Structure 1
Amino acid sequence: MARTIKKTPLIEFKGTTLPVVSVTLRTLQTVALAGAAKELFGDEGFFEGDAAVIELDRAEEAESAGPVDWTALRSELRRHGLNVIGVRGGSEALRDSAAHAGLPTFAAFKRAVRGEAPSAPAEETKSVTAARERATETISSVPVAPPPPPTPVNAPTLVIDRPLRSGQQAYARGGDLVVLAAVNAGAEVIADGSIHVYAPLRGRALAGAKGATDARIFTTRFEAELVSIAGVYRTFEGGVPNELAGHPVQVRLVGNDAEGATRLTLDPLATT
């Protein structure tokens, strides 16, 4: 009797969900983007090879500013650790331009509307409906135990108790960052959650690095070069306002403007 040898398929297809960073750009001009990225991340890589999709809905006058150099744009984002795999939203012309550069368009998944599906024959529809009703009655008669409460997940907190010198960087991935010493000019503190600096903050502080708009920045002595929450940032090239310089301050995102965007606010922080 001949044995049947099961052949392993050389190609398999499986559905999967992968983490992808959404990058909203308000301009597609590489020089402007390079300047904004340098203010946010400095000259170092920030992400760790994460896949990214560019959101085009808010790109300001991208078509009237001339053709987009997608190769340069991707290279600029790759310098900071992002691998662009496609685009989403925007005009048809922009999406076509991206497609010619090898960037496909991704769309959000939408369930089909019931009325749009082709109708089944009347007899088949009736039998299916009757079967569903019988199944519903059977399921309803069986007591179902309530699902267990979700297990709380504690986000990690990174604590640093030494000063950060110019050129040094601290990143709290997935949680908050607490710094118990000075963050000197040219240093950078980053957190996916909130940032607490119980000392002078003279460098750059970027909270909500993965998009958490409820993140905040707290410091007992505000002398920062740049602060950012969820990508909304403010620089202090001309110096910190006198009413905030050297005082306890909290930084947060509040409100919505006419375009639905949040704004960054700096408020004195009462410590007594």
Structure 2
Amino acid sequence: MSTKQNSKPIEIKISTVVAVSAILRTADLETLDATLKKTTGGAPDYFDNDLVVIDVSAIDFSGTAIDWSALTSLFSSYSLNPVAVRGAPPELEHQIVAHGMSIDTLAPQRQEASSEETGAAPAPVIAPPPASTPAPAPVQQSPEVHSPVAAAVPAMIIDSPVRAGQRIYARGCDLIVNAIVNNGAELIADGSIHVYAPLRGRALAGASGNAEARIFTLSMEAELVSIAGIYRTFDGGLPKDLAKQPAQVRLQGDRIDVLSIRA
């Protein structure tokens, strides 16, 4: 069978692939297994064959060895598919590649993200002035007050319903949806998510680690919500005062809060 004229048998294009981040602070498999069980609550479909980047930057490798085969098998048993490792020492990269994973080197915000996940504010760095520099003379401030101007934040806007099985990712921006998000659909944004209609699927805001991101909807009916990698499901249903009502989702420390936004 021949292909049509001017058509290519294969085309390679840049595609957006979203992966969750699993930040390990131990390599002990029993501890990791117990933590995953607690996180998922035993729900077999808590993760939906999501891709996962394993972050090992917090592990002290001077006295720790990782069984990569057992580790990837553990994640696979929870429907997580390891695709890359972040923060590993260079001498371990050949082992990682041999187990079918790539090396993720895009981690400039690792320290900041860790602080957000633990709820602690990152320590500020204050540089003292050089000893040879005299103290500047006081400058009289003008009584005129200028209000700060907020930088424009880009957003992806979706006007059509999001069907079951669809996954929409707003990379580096907010996501605005002006139609219903059906069960089985998934919204992902590095910023906040705004749904001006019923939200019945999964919504994951702050996907790149932004703990200040939020989720807003005019009708809260979500299956799962997440802020900066912290998840919350609603298998037992939402409280009556929040179900099918305008609501927002935000991260408080390591806890997901769902709050009413009614006037």
When normalised by structure 1's length, the TM-score is: 0.54
Q: Is structure 2 residue 244 aligned with structure 1 residue 266?
A: no
Identify the residue that residue 49 of structure 2 maps to in structure 1.
43
Q: Aligned partners of 2:153, 2:72: CA distance in 1, in Å?
A: 32
Kept after mapping to 2: 8 A contact 1:163/1:181: yes
Higher helix fraction (1 or 2): 1
Alpha-carbon offset, residue 246 of structure 1? 0.6
Alpha-carbon offset, residue 74 of structure 1? 3.9
Identify the residue that residue 203 of structure 1 maps to in structure 2.
201
Q: Is structure 2 residue 243 aligned with structure 1 residue 245?
A: yes
Alpha-carbon offset, residue 30 of structure 1? 9.1
Q: Aligned partners of 2:66, 2:225: CA distance in 1, in Å?
A: 29
Q: Aligned partners of 2:35, 2:219: CA distance in 1, in Å?
A: 34
- 1:184-231 per-residue CA deviation (whole Å, 9 max, x = no partner) reads 111100000000000000010000001100000000000010011011
Give the 3-state SS of the residue equivalent to 1:55 in structure 2. coil
User: Given residue 83 of structure 1, which amino acid in structure 2 is its aligned partner?
Assistant: A
Q: Aligned partners of 2:212, 2:243: CA distance in 1, in Å?
A: 24
1:28 to 5, 11, 32: 32
Unaligned stretches of 5+ residues in structure 2: 1-19, 26-30, 97-109, 112-130, 134-149
Kept after mapping to 1: 8 A contact 2:48/2:80: no
Give the 3-state SS of the residue equivalent to 1:212 in structure 2. coil
Kept after mapping to 2: 8 A contact 1:224/1:236: yes
State the structure with bigger RCO (CA 8 A, min sep 6), 1 or 2: 2
Q: Aligned partners of 2:44, 2:152: CA distance in 1, in Å?
A: 32
Report percent identity of matched pairs: 48
- 1:40-88 per-residue CA deviation (whole Å, 9 max, x = no partner) reads 752254x7xx78445349xxxxx9xxx9643243464896564115459
Identify the residue that residue 142 of structure 1 maps to in structure 2.
none
Identify the residue that residue 183 of structure 1 maps to in structure 2.
181
Q: Aligned partners of 2:34, 2:258: CA distance in 1, in Å?
A: 30
Kept after mapping to 1: 8 A contact 2:24/2:54: no
When normalised by structure 2's length, the TM-score is: 0.56
Identify the residue that residue 83 of structure 1 maps to in structure 2.
84
Q: Aligned partners of 1:30, 1:70: CA distance in 2, in Å?
A: 18
- 1:113-152 per-residue CA deviation (whole Å, 9 max, x = no partner) reads xxxxxxxxxxxxxxxxxxxx9xx79xxxxxxxxxxxxxx8
Unaligned stretches of 5+ residues in structure 1: 1-20, 58-62, 89-97, 110-132, 138-151, 255-260
Q: Aligned partners of 1:191, 1:178: CA distance in 2, in Å?
A: 10
Kept after mapping to 2: 8 A contact 1:168/1:187: yes
Kept after mapping to 2: 8 A contact 1:22/1:55: no
User: Given residue 264 of structure 1, which amino acid in structure 2 is its aligned partner?
Assistant: I
Within 5 Å, which residues of 2 pair with 1:41-120?
Answer: 42-45=48-51, 52-56=55-59, 69-74=67-72, 76=75, 80=81, 82-87=83-88, 102=95
Kept after mapping to 2: 8 A contact 1:155/1:174: no
Identify the residue that residue 166 of structure 2 maps to in structure 1.
168
Two-structure CA RMSD over aligned residues (Å): 4.4
Give the 3-state SS of the residue equivalent to 2:32 in structure 1. coil
User: Given residue 29 of structure 1, which amino acid in structure 2 is its aligned partner?
Assistant: D
State how many pairs are aligned: 185
Kept after mapping to 2: 8 A contact 1:166/1:185: yes
User: Given residue 55 of structure 1, which amino acid in structure 2 is its aligned partner?
Assistant: A
2:226 to 228, 237, 240: 228
Q: Aligned partners of 1:69, 1:206: CA distance in 2, in Å?
A: 30
Kept after mapping to 2: 8 A contact 1:207/1:230: yes
- 1:246-271 per-residue CA deviation (whole Å, 9 max, x = no partner) reads 100000012xxxxxx4321111012x
Q: Aligned partners of 2:85, 2:183: CA distance in 1, in Å?
A: 32
Q: Aligned partners of 1:269, 1:243: CA distance in 2, in Å?
A: 11
